[in-house]
Structure 1
Amino acid sequence: NMTLTAESHSVTLSDGFKIPLMGLGTYGDPRTTPKGTACESVKYAIDVGYRHIDGALVYFNEHEVGQAIREKIADGTVKREDVFYCGKLWNTFHPPELVMPALKRTLKTLELDYVDLYIIELPLAFKPGDVFYPKDENGKEVYHDTDLCATWEALEACKDAGLTKSLGVSNFNKRQLELILNKPGLKHKPVTNQIECHPYFTQPKMMEFCKKNDIIIVGYSPLGTSRDPSWVNLKSPPLLEDELLVSIGKKYKKTSAQVALRFNVQRGVVVIPKSFSPKRIKENFEIFDFSLTDDEMKEIEGLNKNIRFVELLMWSDHPEYPFHDDY
């Protein structure tokens, strides 16, 4: 069992680069998050010890995240190579000729020369262009034919051009991953699949498939999600109130959130909890001074309900909607 510390908790990707198991998610509702919040939060996280930041063009705050990283480089806290940044290709930029310009737009927004990981955010293509949520007269997203292999080849060109170190995907199911892995002339394998992953949704089948194919799982919503009924499935009770997680936490003088994060990190799943609260940003990082026993790990695995919080049902009629399949 590898020893994880606050200073050293990276795992090696199949392409030889390293990814820290603990990251900071940066999505905040652009309509309600005060300007500057993302920048301050990322700077604070870097001061606390985070070295992995997860962002996206579609979060509308990538300029703030980039500014935070640059300020922490400028003040000598970190060097650029100490920080792992993941950016994402949005649904409206899937046509191959739009992929590199989309990544260049992210780099221009961040004011950085490269990202460490660039991933296809969803296997769903929308009508191409700069309107991120193109809608028809009924307010329904306008879809576009998806060719995941063609999009992937355009990502490979981005890596070859040095704009990103590594390439991955997000919200892909097994069939969609196999499409890429079995692509004739594949040049660069996806090194990660970013998916929902927490004690109520442990992803055992996807874990096994990814392990076999040397793909690291990056778990989003590792603490469950907000309880916003407009996009969250509320069939599962709030994860952080779970009696088992609370009681294991008491034993170690930790919160249920810290137990949930430790559970994933200990099984090699990268976690990217989002927080803009300094107290919780710090608390979420404090998972390297205790470890769970094998029995506790098994007990937590037993909490799996196979129910997603993030179902994305509004796009379930898209031909490439990933969650109809078992995994």
Structure 2
Amino acid sequence: MDPKGWRVELNDGHFIPVLGFGTYATKEVPKSQTVENTKLGIDTGFRHIDCAYLYGNEMEVGLAIQSKIEDGTVKREDLFCTSKLWVTCLRPEFVQPALEKTLKNLQLDYVDLYLIHFPTATKPGKELLPEDEHEKVVFDIVDLCTTWEAMEKCKEAGLTKSIGVSNFNRRQLEKILNKPGLKYKPVCNQVECHPYLNQSKLLDFCKSKNIALVAFGALGTQRAKPWVDQSSPVVLHDPVLCAMAKKYQLSPALIALRYQLQRGVVVLAKCDNEKQMKENMQVFEFQLTSEDMKVLDGLNRNLRYLPLQIFADHSEYPFSDEY
């Protein structure tokens, strides 16, 4: 099936493509490479582009999008663009200005989806996540419900079509869902999710509330330094996953992506070359058996590659709860 037709309906009536193109890149990757990779992704067939202010490359993603619109490859309405509000801007008065800055970077009038990137507010000032895990982070206490109200205003202003969250646990989702005067539910919760952290309880909860689960790190986070413990096991080297890949005569990455789609999860794929991008598009061309899905479920070991320990002392740190 044409991957452009593979979309799921969100709880606000908009549709999200189930396979997304991740744009996060480590500092070692030249910014120009982000432009080329994103253009290649669009050429390959990706229509869901996932970015974030934190990634520090929104301008490059915007250049790529504009280039592909100008050369007639896509129209703006063909693309589903996501960005995210960073922890330095969770105070309600900073939310819309942060989104406006993102739109300027991306050269867009609106994004399709805007997410609260992480629920732990820090004092405004420091732009990006500290490279040093031991650097002192100055926390801020912000009521997530007031942040959510500011997100709702962004939707009403037409700056974003849909609003959601990222890295929220069940308790934090319920806080938003139970908020007096709630106008719009989060359409999704974007979280780390792969065979070693399958998020089955959080997925069940989200499904029960008609909230889409979006998986990042679906292939094991690409060993991103400095945040990933380099001694942790590599999902794509797992012997069970590799044996299954051999059985289907496909790559372990494709098996890991297909696993998420069959669970009803929207999945993001980070690709660094055209070969990987084209290969990832094959995820629509096969199906795993229910027995194989159960085998993959059995790989779960609650291994979180990105615990973001620098935020662990914040009252809203999401990973202390079971899910």
User: Does TM, normalized by the shorter one, top 0.5?
Assistant: yes
Residues 219-238 of structure 1 deviation map (CA, whole Å, 9 limit, x = unaligned): 01000123356311457411
2:101 maps to which residue? 105
Question: Which SS does the other structure have where 2:270 is aligned?
Answer: coil
Paired with 2:65 and 2:130, the residues of 1 have a C-alpha distance of: 31
2:3 maps to which residue? 6
Paired with 2:224 and 2:83, the residues of 1 have a C-alpha distance of: 25
2:80 maps to which residue? 84
Question: Which SS does the other structure have where 2:284 is aligned?
Answer: coil
Change (3 A) 1:217 1:77: same
2:92 maps to which residue? 96
Shift of residue 267, structure 1, vs aligned partner: 1.4
Shift of residue 252, structure 1, vs aligned partner: 2.1
Change (3 A) 1:293 1:5: farther
Paired AA for residue 21 in structure 1 = V
Shift of residue 130, structure 1, vs aligned partner: 5.9
CA contact (8 A) 2:21 2:41 kept: yes
Paired AA for residue 6 in structure 2 = H
Paired with 2:76 and 2:152, the residues of 1 have a C-alpha distance of: 23
Paired AA for residue 182 in structure 1 = N
CA contact (8 A) 1:27 1:274 kept: yes
Paired AA for residue 20 in structure 2 = G
Matched, 1:279 2:272: no
Paired with 1:180 and 1:274, the residues of 2 have a C-alpha distance of: 30
Give me the CA root mean square deviation: 1.6
Relative to the length of structure 2, the TM-score reads 0.96
The match for 2:60 among 60, 64, 67 is 64
1:214 maps to which residue? 210
CA contact (8 A) 1:127 1:134 kept: no
Relative to the length of structure 1, the TM-score reads 0.94
Matched, 1:52 2:87: no
Shift of residue 285, structure 1, vs aligned partner: 2.2
Paired AA for residue 83 in structure 2 = G
CA contact (8 A) 2:4 2:47 kept: no
1:195 maps to which residue? 191
Question: Which SS does the other structure have where 2:246 is aligned?
Answer: helix
CA contact (8 A) 2:193 2:217 kept: yes
Matched, 1:247 2:243: yes
The match for 2:167 among 166, 171, 177 is 171
Paired AA for residue 251 in structure 2 = T
CA contact (8 A) 2:92 2:147 kept: yes
2:22 maps to which residue? 25
Question: Which SS does the other structure have where 1:162 is aligned?
Answer: coil
> Mind listing any 5+ residue stretches in structure 1 that lack a counterpart?
none
Matched, 1:132 2:128: yes
Shift of residue 13, structure 1, vs aligned partner: 0.3
Paired with 1:83 and 1:224, the residues of 2 have a C-alpha distance of: 26
CA contact (8 A) 1:226 1:232 kept: no
CA contact (8 A) 2:4 2:17 kept: no
Shift of residue 132, structure 1, vs aligned partner: 3.3
Matched, 1:315 2:323: no
CA contact (8 A) 2:254 2:280 kept: yes
2:181 maps to which residue? 185
Change (3 A) 1:246 1:133: closer
CA contact (8 A) 1:97 1:154 kept: yes
Matched, 1:16 2:17: no
Residues 240-268 of structure 1 deviation map (CA, whole Å, 9 limit, x = unaligned): 01122212212222100000000001111
* Stretch moving more, 79-88 or 238-247: 238-247
CA contact (8 A) 1:58 1:132 kept: yes
